[in-house]
Amino acid sequence: MKILILNGPNLNLLGKREPEVYGKQTFEEYFKVLQAKFTNVQLEYYQSNIEGELIGKIQEVGFSYDGIVLNAAAYTHTSVGIGDSVKAVETPVVEVHISNTHKREDFRHVSYISSGAKGVILGFGLQSYDLAIQSFL
């Protein structure tokens, strides 16, 4: 089973970015925790701050991998392009967010990803990624 975790803009700063919202752990550290837990899953991790690179990655793995765990970060609320690519591929996509976006500013209540996603998991901190992986097993 092959699953890609795909993180969007500013998530490379996890650990130092608004720790009161996103926690103190870097994603690289947490990725090791996930790899140690899901030993029978081939987990891959990719992060980009660039919309087109995220679309390129979805297209690249989207006809061969078993799942994509996507945190499109701020692009969630703006990107018709990423939303369309989620709909274009065969691989199921689970949308995740670290924070509960519905408790935050109004502009975060809109998602261009959700309508094409298999499901959405949000508000559980980094554990949102763990729950998303479990949803594919």
Assess whether 75 carries a catalytic annotation.
no
Name which of 1 and 105 has its Cβ closer to ligand DQA: 105
User: Known binder of ligand: residue 135?
Assistant: no
Under the rule (CB under 6 A), what is the footprint of ligand DQA?
10, 71, 73-74, 76, 97-99, 101, 108
DSSP characters for 85-136? HHHHSSS-EEEEESS-GGGS-GGGG--SSGGGSSEEEESSTTHHHHHHHHHH
Name which of 57 and 90 has its Cβ closer to ligand DQA: 57
Name which of 42 and 100 has its Cβ closer to ligand DQA: 100
Assess whether 22 carries a catalytic annotation.
yes
User: Known binder of ligand: residue 10?
Assistant: no
Which of 65, 97, 112, 129 is catalytic? The answer is 97
| SS3 of residue 32 by DSSP | helix
DSSP classification of residue 55: H
> Which of 137, 136, 107, 103 minimizes the C-alpha distance to 122?
103
Catalytic residue ranges? 22, 97
- Residue ranges at the known binding site for substrate: 71, 77, 84, 98-99, 108
